[in-house]
Amino acid sequence: AIIWKDKKYRYDWLNDNIQKCHNIIVSHQIKQGSVVALEGDFSPNSMALLLALIEKACIIVPLTNTSNKNENRLFDIAQVEFVFRVSSDDVITAEIVSKRVDNTYYKIIRERKHPGLVLFTSGTSGEPKAAVHDFLSLLEKFKKRRLTLRTLNFLLFDHWGGLNTMFYILSNGGVVIATKDRNPENVCKLIEEYKIELLPASPTFLNLLLLSGTHEDYDLSSLKIISYGTEPMPESTLKRLKKIFPEVKLLQTYGLIELGVMQSKSEKDDSLWVKVGGDGYNTRVVDGMLEIKAKSAMLGYLNAPSPFTEDGWFKTGDAVEVNGEYIKILGRKSEIINVGGEKVYPQEVENVILEIDNVAEATVYGEKN
């Protein structure tokens, strides 16, 4: 089931450990509907504890160890009652944080007797927003059996992309290869050593991988799919990836913490045009902006107004071009730079700059003038 720090853990071990974690939850008198922060990374105990908290129907707030500096503020927003910390050595510790508080969304989840999930946006512009989900709505899609691949759990523990990977692999009886060290050297080493077939990563990491040249020092022939998402992919990086990994399928994914990760199909491996949707998702474009209606949509934000239209469509804030069934994501509406009345997306300018020889990385931003 899991490979972590060169040690292999079987599915029977995982089942036994979920039961042990269940006993830990009970011993701390944590009840159904309690708000529990789980701080860690993808490790055997953090995965088992997460699955046990879901079975107990708790409202779970996954955090990484790097959230520490912001921890108390996040606890306040999410109204956390208990926190479990899983150390880098996979040791579980627990503490009581605060008393129980109620709000509309938590009340709905508790009445349904379902587990809940609270995910934070990155908060790059101001305070992070807390999205509240009925966890069962997000987990529904994993009932359908799909292709099993040996996969690196690259994306983070507090990120739906990372959790989505874990649930996808475990629900299909695959192998999750987990690591805390996500630098190109170690990732390539793990791919070679464990014959990893699927690498879900961010465009930033993939660009870093190409710049480092580390891929030339390892045998990465086991790779079948590289999926990318979480941020715009520079066209130049995508074309270089295809050149270096001609046999590997390059798949653009699209997901949001408010909706989950959708099924996607790239028009071509080296194309940014993508078809998104699948079971439980409908898409439409209004005034050049992508809107999505999803069965797995969050109930709402704990600390921000609702982003849904009256008829239940989520305004993604992503500007898109449309070509038949395919869309191309231009960037966030909030990133548009107005240059003498001309609307400019930084990503488009960055793509051109990145094609210039000897340019490794570029950032374009607007300044008031």
Order of strands, sheet of 176-178, starting from the edge strand that comes earlier in the sequence: 7-9, 2-4, 176-178, 151-152, 198-201, 225-228, 249-252
Angle at which helices 235-244 and 203-212 cross, to 10°: 50
How does 264-293 read in b/e, with b if 16+ C-beta sit within 10 Å? bebbebebbbbbbbeebbebeeeeeebbbb
Q: Which range has the worst mean pLDDT, 21-30, 145-154, 226-235? A: 226-235
| pLDDT at residue 116 in the model | 97
User: What percent of the chain shows pLDDT beyond 90?
Assistant: 58
- Segment 329-348 mean pLDDT: 78
| pLDDT at residue 127 in the model | 83
- Segment 192-202 mean pLDDT: 95
Grade residue 125 by pLDDT with cuts at 50, 70 and 90. Answer: low
- 4 phi and psi angles, rounded to 5 deg: -145, 125
Residue closest to 188 by CA, chosen among 157, 224, 152: 152
> Is 338 buried (19+), middle (13-18) or exposed (0-12) by CB count in 10 A?
exposed
* Coil, helix or strand at residue 331: strand
- Segment 307-319 mean pLDDT: 89
The pLDDT of residue 68 is above 70: no
**Pairing status of strand 82-86 against strand 116-120:** unpaired
Q: Tell me if the pTM is above 0.85.
A: yes
Residue closest to 150 by CA, chosen among 2, 45, 347: 2
| pLDDT at residue 106 in the model | 96
Rounded Cα gap, residues 227 and 201, in angstroms:
6
The per-residue pLDDT of the chain, averaged, comes to 90
Rounded Cα gap, residues 217 and 214, in angstroms:
5
Residue 211's contacts (CB-CB under 8 Å, 6 or more residues apart) are: 360, 361
Rounded Cα gap, residues 106 and 90, in angstroms:
30
Rounded Cα gap, residues 58 and 33, in angstroms:
5
| pLDDT at residue 71 in the model | 86
- Segment 143-147 mean pLDDT: 88
Q: Which residue has the tokens 């129980």?
A: 100
Residue closest to 253 by CA, chosen among 262, 240, 241: 262
- Segment 49-56 mean pLDDT: 98
How does pLDDT run across 201-237, given as a tens digit for each residue? Answer: 998 899 889 989 999 999 999 999 999 987 778 888 8
How does pLDDT run across 261-292, given as a tens digit for each residue? Answer: 887 888 888 888 888 887 788 899 998 889 99
